[in-house]
Amino acid sequence: MIALDPAANRPQFINVRVKRQDGPGQEPYWQLFKIDYEPELNVITVLQRIAALSKTSDGKKVTPVVWDCGCLEEVCGACTMQINGRVRQSCSALVDTLLKDNADELVLEPMSKFPVLRDLMVDRRRLFKALEKVKAWVPVDSYYNMGPGERQLRAAQEQNYPLSQCMSCGCCVDACPQYNKIELERKKDETDEEFKKREEKAWDKAFVGPHAISQAMLFNNHPTGKSIAGERLDALTAPGGIQACGNAQNCVAVCPKEIPLTTSIARAGRATTIHTIKKWFEK
């Protein structure tokens, strides 16, 4: 390429290598796509261009790559995938920045800890189920008008707000060495309900994940949420709870919202210890 001025010193094309998979349990395979370079692209636009083209770099007609996205401004948590080997949101993955690190190609893969539904789309129901396990809600009496909630100091709000920004994107669990993929195959003669039950049982025994621990701490720090703090700590001392954390600290490093997950985990560690001792004395 002949570069006459710095602005022209840009690639003509972008090579995008995508790990594809036609359905659950099927063999993954790679495809290479080539799209025209434009300034200020993000990975979402790249995938949109690929969908419109539906052709690989050697001109073979293929189906559009399947992926999940929503808000495109990093608040919904939908578009998580592995980009150049790192789990992150694809909307905020800017192509110009990615090309600085690897000018040859972009590599897109699905998240590694969830069953692939198709291509870059994975099944993250387990993430949300974990929020149920730790009862991540305020147990209000009713939705009738009962006046305002308790007054809260600014310091408390400032502690809770960052935790409350967790968008259940799954980056933290994807990077966590203690969080393992669970992919069950449906047995013959198993009904939808039976299969769902078996899945939920498997999830329940496995590590709940940093996001859920952090949500438990969020609600245990709320004036009304606190009223079931013990139940949340019970969940965190059960199998798959806090003791499964190996303190690798990958979670906090990859969190796109920079949520202090390890601080939450440390708080949960102390709280569960005290909770267990107290329960032992109360026996």
Partner 1 sequence: MSNQRVVVVGGGLAGLASAMKLAELGVAVDLISLTPVKRSHSVCAQGGINSCNDQTRQLGDNEWKHFDDTVYGGDFLNHQPPVKEMAYWAPKVIELMDRLGVPFNRTGEGFLDRRRFGGTLYKRTAFAGATTGQQLLYALDEQVRRRESEGLIRKFEFWDFLGPIQDETGRCRGVVAQDMVSMEIRAFPADAAVVATGGCGLVYGRSTMSVFCTGSAASRCFQAGAKYANGEFIQVHPTAIPGSDKLRLMSESARGEGGRVWVPRKPHDSRAPRDIPASDRYYFLEERYPEYGNLVPRDIATREIFDICVNDGLSVDTERMCVYLDLTHIPKAELDRKLGGILEIYEKFQGVDPRIEPMRIFPAVHYSMGGLWADYVKSADGGLEAGAPANHMTNIEGLYAIGECDYHYHGANRLGANSLLSCIFTGLFTGPSIVNYIDNQSGGHADIDAATLSGAVSKQQERHDSLLTGDAGSDENPYLIHQELGDIMTRAATVVRRNDQLTDAIEKVNELHDRAMKVNLSDTGSWSNQNVIFAKSLQDMFPIAKSILGGALRRDECRGAHFKPDFQKPSLTAEDPAERRKQAEEWCDAFEKNNDKYLKSTIADYDNASMQPQFSYEDVDTSLQPPRPRLYGLVGADIIEEVWKERAEAKKQQPQMASS
For partner 1, the closer of residues 56 and 112 by Cβ is 56
What lies within 8 Å, CB to CB, of 5 at 6+ separation is none
Strand, coil or helix: 242: helix
Residue 121 binds partner 1, judged by CB under 8 A: yes
Q: Pick between residue 71 and residue 274 the one whose CB is nearest to partner 1.
A: 71
Confirm or reject binding of residue 187 to partner 1 (CB under 8 A). no
User: How many residues are there in the chain?
Assistant: 283
Query: Which x/- pattern, by CB under 8 A, does the window 33-72 give for partner 1?
Result: -----x-xxx-xx--x--xx-x------xxxx-x-xxxxx
Q: Does 219 bind partner 1 (CB under 8 A)?
A: yes
Residue 22 engages partner 1 in binding (rule: CB under 8 A): yes
Task: Name the residue nearer to partner 1 (CB basis): 179 or 219.
Answer: 219
Determine contact, residues 241/212, Cβ cutoff 8 Å. no
Q: Inter-axis angle of helices 125-133 and 192-205, to 10 degrees?
A: 70
Q: How many CB atoms lie within 10 A of CB 152?
A: 12
Closest CA to 184 of 174, 197, 171: 197
- Nearer Cβ to partner 1, position 64 or 246? 64
**Token pair of 194 as six digits:** 């039976």
- Residue 57 or 243: the one with the smaller Cβ distance to partner 1 is 57
Q: How many other C-beta atoms are found inside a 10 Å radius of the C-beta of residue 142?
A: 6
Q: DSSP character for 93?
A: -
Q: Which stretches of the chain bind partner 1, using CB under 8 A?
A: 22-23, 38, 40-42, 44-45, 48, 51-52, 54, 61-64, 66, 68-78, 91-92, 94, 117-118, 121, 124, 128, 131-132, 135-140, 142-143, 145-149, 151-154, 156-158, 160-161, 164-165, 167-168, 219, 222, 224-225
